[in-house]
Structure formats: C-alpha cells, structure tokens
Amino acid sequence: MAASVERPRLPRLTKKNDATGFIFYRSVYVLDRNTDLETAVLDKTQLDPLTYRHAMSRLAGHVHIVTAEHRGERRGVTITAACSVSDNPATLLVCLNATNPKNGIFTDSGSFALNLLGADQMDLAHVFSGKNHVDPTARFEHGTWGTLETGAPVLQQAVAAFDCRLIDIKTVATHIVLFGEVVAVTLGEQKPALVYLDRDYRTL
C-alpha cells in the first residue's frame, strides 16, 4: 500500500522588483519529505521573462529556417522553436513571434516548410535572423531554394526539409504556434547539425 504523502506547507510568496523593472516572485523551496530532495515551487504565471530566458538559454535547439510563400512573396525566419508532434499522420509544430507583423504571411499562406540547417550553414542562419541586415526580399539569394508540394520555399542544401500544410494555429502568449501536416520531405547530405546553446551557435 502506498505511504500517505504529507503535503508540504508553502511559505507566502514575496513580490519584488528587480533591477530591470520586472516584477518577480521569490522562488519557494520546500523539502519533499518522500525523496529528501529540494524542489523548486514556482507559480508559472509569475516567473519573470529574464529568468525564464536565462534558464532556456541552456536548452540546446536545432537551428532551422521556416519559410512560407503567399501571392509571390516569400519569407524565411531562423528559428529553434520547432518539434515533432506525431508520425501518424506526420505532424510538426513551429513557434513564431506574433508581435512581428511580417510573420502574418505564415497564417495567410496555409503552408510552410521547415528547413534543418547543418553545421556549415551558420551564414544562412544569420541572414534569416536579420543579423546581417539583409533585406527580407534579398534573403533568398543566399542558398538554393526550390519547392516541393505546397509551394513553400525549400532549401536544397538542408539536412532535411519538411513541407507542411497548415492544419492548426494557436496563439499562446507572444507567439503563434503553427501545426503542420507534413506532405513531403527531402533528405539532404547527412552532416553535423547546427545548434544554438548558451546564446551562441554550436555544432553537433
């Protein structure tokens, strides 16, 4: 029979202002009596963005370029926020900043492509993140781009590319989450991946 679990008593949260002006709440540590481990208890709605971003900088993310085409206009954005959802039917998601009006093309288009970058493609990541201030219309002059089924731009030198039909959109906080059913895939040269970790590019 399972031992009865004594729920820890939580101290009151203390509201503070940090140097950046963000309001945050003091982390509360409680002793988990069953495991003798200290467990951080945070109200997720109260965590300040800087602390969250600092912790997330330790999460390694594969670097991709997500693309869309609508009425002759193309857009590509360097992202790390993408993952697989299901293999049947093949489905993935990407998260895009909803506060950037230029990202409206992704919802207007009805399709998008996720292009996985390799270790030798950091220059492309810079171009499509706006770091080099390359004009958005000139960004596709970098790399060789084609299309598969949907018409979304597909990078011919991508490690892999997933051509997706947009099947759902959720707006969550500052971002839109695009769900795509994968309708075509390309497999490029197998080579080390380009990842982003500790606020810098790495290779794996």
Ligand X SMILES: Cc1cc2nc3c(=O)[nH]c(=O)nc-3n(C[C@H](O)[C@H](O)[C@H](O)COP(=O)(O)O)c2cc1C
Task: Work out whether 129 is an interface residue with ligand X (CB under 6 A).
Answer: yes
Distance CA 159, CA 116 (A): 5
Comparing CB distances to ligand X, the nearer of 15 and 102 is: 102
Task: Work out whether 81 is an interface residue with ligand X (CB under 6 A).
Answer: yes
Cα dihedral: 80, 85, 90, 93 (round 10): -40
Q: How far are the Cα atoms of 66, 139, 151 from residue 143, in angstroms, in the given order?
A: 14, 9, 17
SS3 label, residue 102: helix
Task: Work out whether 196 is an interface residue with ligand X (CB under 6 A).
Answer: yes
Instruction: State the minimum distance, in angstroms, from the CB of residue 104 to ligand X.
Output: 12
Instruction: State the minimum distance, in angstroms, from the CB of residue 7 to ligand X.
Output: 37
Choosing from 46, 84, 100, 156, the residue that interacts with ligand X (CB under 6 A) is 100
Cβ neighbours, 10 Å, residue 181: 18
Task: Work out whether 80 is an interface residue with ligand X (CB under 6 A).
Answer: yes
Instruction: State the minimum distance, in angstroms, from the CB of residue 118 to ligand X.
Output: 15
Distance CA 69, CA 81 (A): 20
H-assigned helices in the chain: 49-56, 104-109, 122-129
Q: How many residues bind ligand X (CB under 6 A)?
A: 16
Contact 97, 175 (CB under 8 A): yes
Task: Give the binding range for ligand X (CB under 6 A) out of 14-22, 25-33, 93-101, 154-162.
Answer: 93-101
Residue least distant from ligand X (Cβ): 130
Choosing from 24, 63, 145, 152, the residue that interacts with ligand X (CB under 6 A) is 63
**Intra-chain end-to-end CA distance of the chain, in Å:** 46
Choosing from 24, 67, 77, 155, the residue that interacts with ligand X (CB under 6 A) is 77
Task: Work out whether 121 is an interface residue with ligand X (CB under 6 A).
Answer: no
Task: Work out whether 96 is an interface residue with ligand X (CB under 6 A).
Answer: yes
Q: Taking Cα atoms as reference points, which of 68, 26, 23 lies closest to residue 49?
A: 23
Binding positions for ligand X, rule: CB under 6 A: 63, 77-81, 95-97, 100, 102, 128-130, 136, 196
